[in-house]
Amino acid sequence: MKGDANTTYDDAAPAPITVDLQLSVNDQLYPVTVDTRETLLDTLRGRLDLTGAKKGCDHGQCGACTVLVDGRRVVSCLTLTVSVDDRTITTVEGLGSGGALHPLQKAFIDHDALQCGFCTPGQLCSAAGVLAEAAAGWPSLVTPRSPPGAGPEAAGCSHDPAAPPHDPAARALPDGPPEPVRLGEEEIRERMSGNLCRCGAYPGIVAAIAEVAR
């Protein structure tokens, strides 16, 4: 067992409770013994030497620790390691394949979507999650109320005060899978709002994601 996870523990407290488990990270299996209190973020950084995910706030407020669990973006600082032993985890280190950059990584470079780079791994994993969510037709708060093909009043969100409210009785969404959501700047900004950038690289980040989404 190498490294010291940096969750702080009270020395006077009763003995830690540890669990042996296998973590699947970036297509590799890691056998680890973890304290039940340990977060996925601390395990990745402290034990697996996967230091891409960053600890910005440790409270779910900044998104720097974002990773994908079963392909969905989550904050690893509020995820207990013991709770994901049966899941598939992808970190920024595993985003690309076969040594090649992920298209988002390439676009981030092309668009100068970073300055210090601290938030970047979280931005990239979050953006990968956004692309998947939009492709699956998930709405955001700024998605128009009536997505293409839907009934006049169905679905959608309240962002635009001028938009007509919808009718709960109008069950008019078409059957079948929802249409993918087109990711314009407003959609990207809303969907990425869980990722803060202290350097203010937002314009580049939005442009990079928009390019990959096209």
Ligand X SMILES: Cc1cc2nc3c(=O)[nH]c(=O)nc-3n(C[C@H](O)[C@H](O)[C@H](O)COP(=O)(O)OP(=O)(O)OC[C@H]3O[C@@H](n4cnc5c(N)ncnc54)[C@H](O)[C@@H]3O)c2cc1C
Task: For 83, list phi and psi in degrees, rounded to 5.
Answer: -85, -10
- Sorted by sequence, the CB contacts under 8 Å of residue 116 that are 6+ apart come out as 198, 199
Residues 27-66 touching ligand FES, rule: CB under 6 A, are: 55-58, 60-65
Q: Provide the mask over 194-213, with x wherever binding to other proteins is found by CB under 8 A and - wherever it is not.
A: xx------------------
User: Among 22, 33, 36, 61, which residue interacts with ligand X (rule: CB under 6 A)?
Assistant: 61
- Which entry of ligand X, ligand FES, other proteins, none binds 33, CB below 5 to 8 A by partner kind? none
Stretch that binds other proteins, among 24-32, 88-96, 107-115, 167-175 (CB under 8 A): 167-175
199 near ligand FES (CB under 6 A) = yes
Paired tokens of 144 = 């128009």
Q: Provide the mask over 92-131, with x wherever binding to ligand FES is found by CB under 6 A and - wherever it is not.
A: ----------------------xxxxxxx-----------
With 0-12 CB in 10 A as exposed, 13-18 as middle and 19+ as buried, what is 136? exposed
Between 28 and 61, CB nearer to other proteins: 61
DSSP assignment letter at 167: -
SS (H, E, C) 63-99: CCCEEEECCEEEEHHHCEHHHHCCCEEECHHHCCECC
Q: Provide the mask over 60-89, with x wherever binding to ligand FES is found by CB under 6 A and - wherever it is not.
A: xxxxxx---------x-x------------
For the chain, give the number of residues: 214
Q: Provide the mask over 34-53, with x wherever binding to other proteins is found by CB under 8 A and - wherever it is not.
A: -xxx-x--------------
- Which entry of ligand X, ligand FES, other proteins, none binds 14, CB below 5 to 8 A by partner kind? other proteins
Block residue for tokens 């960053």 = 54
Rounded to 10 degrees, what is the CA torsion of 96, 32, 48, 127? Answer: 40
Pairing of strands 88-90, 66-69: antiparallel
DSSP assignment letter at 100: B
83 near ligand X (CB under 6 A) = no
Residues contributing to the site for ligand FES (CB under 6 A)? 55-58, 60-65, 75, 77, 114-120, 197-199, 201
